[in-house]
Structure 1
């Protein structure tokens, strides 16, 4: 698999006379892999771990089904144990799909003279952008424990996602936090299996996310057109940021238009509740099932909050700190709704996109409860 990925990546070179691609995926992979060469799974270990995690998934599926009241349309049989390089290779294709709309807008292909390109893109050339994505993938490969891989932006019908378990990272956390491996891995499996239930039992959720992502790239194409106008375009971004001075929000939101911010918040709210609900199910099922649940939950929460200064800086620069905070808010939202109105009421989240909370409702769950309680018929957010 790795050799095939590497060969495919090296072919991504522009033909003579064509503009260079915006992202050099060979460089992306090389950088990400270089940060993770020390972790690898041998063939015999890999085969045994594949079977081991499939058994854990088979054990978790009826437990999640019993709690959520949902059923899977198929079986979860595409379950794999990965090392970090496996995870990088599996996710590069997804990153490529996400960046295809940007390639279509590639400003390096504009024939407006080298001075314009130099002014507009300066350090944001192919090498720098590829390096940034490579470092991001390399960093994430060291942090991800498990993943439900659903092909977003894919046009084919949803037939089921894949479940990955990144064994070197799981082992590292178990050793660092002194966790009982069997219990911790079942706890983690409950979370990832819940993601499968969210998307496969409710196909509209994937379509909803795809629609938001496509709209996001439409907005991005408008911003790239701004950049092509040189200093006038850059001044538009500066004006946006100045208009947001003194308001709450990340640096990413500062340069957004009101329409972009509304879409950004909607996307963040959706992902917050997706992650928050998975955490809720993992803990609700796990506390009655796993003997060492209290120890695992307490130590893992501490691990999530205790990061090095370098990790904090990286998270702020990449926007990952926004995601982690909103995932915590998503879990608090679901927990509050279940505590106040019960799990059956909280399950109304999955009736359709009109039932998803806004970021304001995630921060103030009683507002969502009131809206859903009084709703007479579906209405888009």
Structure 2
């Protein structure tokens, strides 16, 4: 499905020579990014059965829906950035191309942390170990990307551009096979479903255009979190032991010593205090971005997406039909936590806009200090008060 024709899923380009942000030398060898992409491509599940004509029609429809959705995002959000999005791309891709795109983005996101490890622990990074470890890690990442490649409907990727891929602003990826598969599974009107999905994904594109500082801020926070985890790796075994002990304690009432048992947050047990703060901040930001996009996609009425209520109801109910293997992978990969971000963030956005309107809410895009904390995500009045609204 990868070709250069207008009405075919677009191939994801390779990084430009000399512009890959992954560090030179030892750092890139820690993860074989090319192997990750090729492994994912070899393992991706087959897409829906479609004729060449159906594929071309679906791609054309998705492009049209992506174009049409921008005006709706502008009207709903009031963000002027939606008027001109020429510094980023919209690509209709297949599953293998999505996996390749994400291997490129991971190389950008992990580049600073891998370089930090190479600079602070060079004695642990001899050529033989990094070559073997890089191949193993690359293959493992490829397997994860292969699984995820059949789950993702769309994704705005602002990071690959930092590695010399695509336009400077980033790229929006719409995964055609997954959109078609899900619209068939839900038995909904394809044109309505495709526009509904594009409303969500184009909102992410507009968010980063409205807050050009956001990409750098997220990259900095992710790098600091990764560096912090590597700096405290020597105590990981001890912390993991504590986590296992806590997780295996009785879950109902008292533990073996008669002490009331409390719910366990595995991530909090595995991070030091600074890591907790960074993770909390990133959780809040991702909740904001996902919740805002969900509010926009559900703000359209039946005049724009006639079957929007049916789509949302069936989309929300589909989780009950997942098999045990799918539920297992969703849990260990954090996909269920991501779904909670959607709902938590949407409640925050609706609470704020109901009090101070969309214009007041849009102050969140002005500077990093205006981003909500995790506590504010769960109590919008705290953010409204801090903003002086």
Give the TM-score normalised by the residue count of structure 1.
Answer: 0.79
Does the CA-based 8 Å contact 2:150-2:178 persist in structure 1?
yes
Higher RCO by CA contacts (8 Å cutoff, separation 6 or greater): 2
Residue among 75, 81, 95 paired with 2:85: 75
> Structure 1: how far apart are the matches of 2:35 and 2:214?
33
Residue among 251, 262, 268 paired with 1:253: 268
> Structure 2: how far apart are the matches of 1:188 and 1:20?
35
> Structure 2: how far apart are the matches of 1:158 and 1:80?
12
Residue among 269, 273, 290 paired with 2:284: 269
Size of the aligned set, in residue pairs, is 352
> Structure 1: how far apart are the matches of 2:124 and 2:228?
23
- Is 2:316 the counterpart of 1:307? no
- Paired residue for 1:96? 107
Does the CA-based 8 Å contact 2:352-2:384 persist in structure 1?
yes
CA gap of 1:247–1:347, structure 2 versus 1, over 3 A, is farther
- Paired residue for 1:60? 69
User: 1:128-167, aligned counterparts within 5 Å?
Assistant: 128-151=136-159, 154=162, 159-167=168-176
CA gap of 1:339–1:152, structure 2 versus 1, over 3 A, is farther
- Is 2:218 the counterpart of 1:209? yes
- Is 2:352 the counterpart of 1:341? no
Q: Which moved more, 1:159-168 or 1:80-89?
A: 159-168
- Paired residue for 1:366? 381
- Offset from partner CA, 1:156-194 (integer Å, 9 cap, x none): 898432222111111111111101000000111111111
Q: How far off is 1:146 after superposition? A: 1.2
Unmatched 5+ residue regions in structure 2? Answer: 3-10, 18-25, 250-260
> Structure 1: how far apart are the matches of 2:356 and 2:12?
52
- Paired residue for 2:42? 34
Does the CA-based 8 Å contact 2:35-2:139 persist in structure 1?
yes
Give the TM-score normalised by the residue count of structure 2.
Answer: 0.77
Q: How far off is 1:277 after superposition? A: 0.3
> Structure 2: how far apart are the matches of 1:223 and 1:56?
47
Q: How far off is 1:242 after superposition? A: 7.6
Q: How far off is 1:234 after superposition? A: 3.2
- Paired residue for 2:23? none
> Structure 2: how far apart are the matches of 1:20 and 1:59?
40
Q: Which moved more, 1:207-216 or 1:300-309?
A: 300-309
Does the CA-based 8 Å contact 1:49-1:81 persist in structure 2?
no
Unmatched 5+ residue regions in structure 1? Answer: 9-17, 227-231, 375-381
CA gap of 1:164–1:207, structure 2 versus 1, over 3 A, is same
- Paired residue for 1:379? none
Q: How far off is 1:223 after superposition? A: 2.5
- Offset from partner CA, 1:186-243 (integer Å, 9 cap, x none): 111111111111001221222221221221232133134x2xxxxx773366468889
Does the CA-based 8 Å contact 1:329-1:363 persist in structure 2?
yes
Q: Which moved more, 1:77-86 or 1:126-135?
A: 126-135
CA gap of 1:257–1:19, structure 2 versus 1, over 3 A, is closer
- Offset from partner CA, 1:306-352 (integer Å, 9 cap, x none): 53322222222223332221222111211222233332222222222
> Structure 1: how far apart are the matches of 2:347 and 2:181?
27
Q: Which moved more, 1:88-97 or 1:149-158?
A: 149-158
SS at match of 2:156: strand
Does the CA-based 8 Å contact 1:252-1:319 persist in structure 2?
no
> Structure 1: how far apart are the matches of 2:58 and 2:300?
24
> Structure 2: how far apart are the matches of 1:321 and 1:190?
22
Does the CA-based 8 Å contact 2:104-2:160 persist in structure 1?
no
SS at match of 2:46: coil
Does the CA-based 8 Å contact 2:41-2:99 persist in structure 1?
yes
SS at match of 1:142: coil
- Paired residue for 2:304? 289
- Paired residue for 2:31? 23
